[in-house]
Amino acid sequence: LRDFLLVYNRMTELCFRHCVCNLNYRLLTGREESCLDSCAARLVRANHRLMGAYVGLVPALLQRRAAEHGAPAEPSGLPASPEPAPGPA
């Protein structure tokens, strides 16, 4: 939640600084509003692409980290469960 709020606040500040140039009026002009809409849409699309790439890379990163530590890892990123001991069931 904290990371989401940080991204949201940065996006808001970036778009506001880029699009709003006149603080003399209470309401946004049509030009400012359309600029804010397109700015936010661009940043949201970029964030979605980054998150998609991140989700695709996480399993490989977890496997590499597990290999460095000498423990096999499951695709979920958790260590593999131990094999049951041989013997009568």
For 45-62, what is each residue's pLDDT tens digit? 998 998 888 888 888 888
The domain limits of the chain are 1-67
Instruction: Write the CB contacts of 8 (distance below 8 Å, at least 6 apart in sequence).
Output: none
Q: How far is CA 39 from the centre of its chain?
A: 18
3-state secondary structure of 41: helix
Q: What is the pTM of this model?
A: 0.59
What's the pLDDT at 68?
87
Q: Determine the number of helices (DSSP H) and then strands (DSSP E) in the chain.
A: 2, 0
What are the angstrom distances between the C-alpha of 17 and each of 8, 22, 29? Answer: 14, 10, 15
For 11-45, what is each residue's pLDDT tens digit? 999 999 999 988 988 999 999 999 999 999 999 99
| pLDDT at 63 > cutoff 50 | yes
What's the pLDDT at 51?
86
For 70-82, what is each residue's pLDDT tens digit? 765 555 555 544 4
Structural class in CATH, domain 1-67: mainly alpha
